[in-house]
Structure 1
């Protein structure tokens, strides 16, 4: 086997498509298919199940691709050593971030990151927590910004900050004139939440377990902005992270009500594969985040 065969196999596992994998690797599809077939013959196993509609990993393929990712990372680590001897922050970083954090953090984060590491371009991918875990394991991303805890085999985390939650209500809602509410009061209202694939919704249901019994209205979507617009139109109330309630996102149609102390919050941190070779990247992201001024955020020392 050779490095290209491993790279081609990992690309197919990530893209789930031979044509897209070939384009990603800058080779023809027949060349890629031949290399993978050669690797499968040498190993004596099938890595992929192929059909007209999709490509899926076999059970042994999942294990082998995970090991291939590790091998390729070690090879890339060797290549980076010479560059990082001059500057440890050289080369692209693939950053993942969950939907309920990305829109409110990334626009402010890019500038300080660029100032701290001008030779470290950042590519950003947004998705759910489960997808971040998959992408980290596959090597599709290097680091993820997620809500903690994020307990996954082979993944380490470091804390970044804690963020409080706020209630948002329509301007004519009875709570619009209040300054504070208690979490248990949420069960009295129609609460709009993201779908259950979002860990943020799970935190709200844990905050007020009675919501489950009272039938909270679950909005099947990925966007807190959709929820905000539904609240503005009078369909119900919701809970948002404080960073989503800064002045930039406020509207005259909504009122923000704080929780009574102790104010509910979430911890946000960085997730990365164990043995990730570019440890300086983690520190520079942490430094950049600490330069931000966002409502409701307190930094972890």
Structure 2
């Protein structure tokens, strides 16, 4: 097995089209097909199947992809580090982040990045996930930190870790002294949630439906800050990331179970966009921050 086999594999996994994948790695379609066959023989499993004119990944391919993606990323970063050692980066990095990540992750990563790269100009905007996706596609953002989109379209999503959502309530709420709450116990309970067009809301609605729970959604707001402000003032609850409330003394956190709502934060890039050295460097700092925090990473 050679490095090129892995690069061809990830290209085909990304495009799911032999012609487009071959163009990406600058080989002929027949060469790509032959190299993929060699890799399949090496690992002893089919990695792709043809369904009509479509190419789909097999279960073996899905299992292999995260490990190969991680390995190639680390190899490429090591090479870039060696090539760029002793040089300060320059240019501009335009970052978009949702509220949860703009509380601590982005500021801490940005402090490290700017200390190492004082010549780089950085802009950070706190946006909704939908706005981040639109801005990356429009080339007005270089990188986004948000949750996995429902529809990737022209985006590439790199998962960072898995996150359990929690119930946030005020200190006077009946659930304030509970350690855990089953989703079914939220039946007929007053909640403030994100609007229905948000992927997180759609995921939560799926959790409610799976156990027959019908909470009373008394308010919808598109910002976590507004949700938590209502929680502090009223006897209602919100379902949010623990990161969003971890430093708030007047908000209680209650674990959710049966089922536990899960989200996957990650890095968003434009699928075919050129990634400048400064942007790649910032992304590497984000990965290291997540790794050092020992957050629950996606299965690899």
TM-score (norm 1): 0.61
Equivalent pair of 1:116/1:288 in contact (CA under 8 Å): no
Equivalent pair of 1:230/1:236 in contact (CA under 8 Å): yes
Return the alpha-carbon distance in structure 1 between the equivalents of residues 169 and 291 of structure 2: 25
Cα deviation per residue 1:86-121 (whole Å; 9 max; x = unaligned)? 858421111112244333532333112224544333
* Structure 1 gap ranges (5+): 1-83
Stretch deviating more after TM superposition (288-297 or 135-144): 288-297
Return the alpha-carbon distance in structure 2 between the equivalents of residues 283 and 266 of structure 1: 25
Return the alpha-carbon distance in structure 2 between the equivalents of residues 296 and 174 of structure 1: 32
Does residue 166 (structure 1) correspond to residue 166 (structure 2)? The answer is: yes
Sort the Cα spacing of 1:223 and 1:263 in 2 relative to 1 into closer, same or farther, 3 A: same
Counterpart residue number, 1:258:
255
Q: Secondary structure at the match of 1:102?
A: helix
Equivalent pair of 2:183/2:258 in contact (CA under 8 Å): no
Counterpart residue number, 1:217:
218
* Structure 2 gap ranges (5+): 1-83
Equivalent pair of 1:243/1:295 in contact (CA under 8 Å): no
Equivalent pair of 2:100/2:243 in contact (CA under 8 Å): no
Return the alpha-carbon distance in structure 2 between the equivalents of residues 102 and 276 of structure 1: 24
Cα deviation per residue 1:142-189 (whole Å; 9 max; x = unaligned)? 111121145333221211222221111222222222111112222231
Counterpart residue number, 1:271:
268
Sort the Cα spacing of 1:121 and 1:292 in 2 relative to 1 into closer, same or farther, 3 A: farther
* TM-aligned CA deviation for residue 236 of structure 1: 0.6
Q: Secondary structure at the match of 1:239?
A: strand
Counterpart residue number, 1:48:
none
Counterpart residue number, 2:77:
none
Equivalent pair of 1:116/1:284 in contact (CA under 8 Å): no
Counterpart residue number, 1:199:
199
* TM-aligned CA deviation for residue 255 of structure 1: 2.0
Does residue 288 (structure 1) correspond to residue 291 (structure 2)? The answer is: no
Equivalent pair of 1:97/1:144 in contact (CA under 8 Å): yes
Equivalent pair of 1:117/1:284 in contact (CA under 8 Å): no
TM-score (norm 2): 0.61
* TM-aligned CA deviation for residue 141 of structure 1: 0.7
Alignment of 1:183-198 (within 5 A): 183-198=183-198
Q: Secondary structure at the match of 1:204?
A: helix
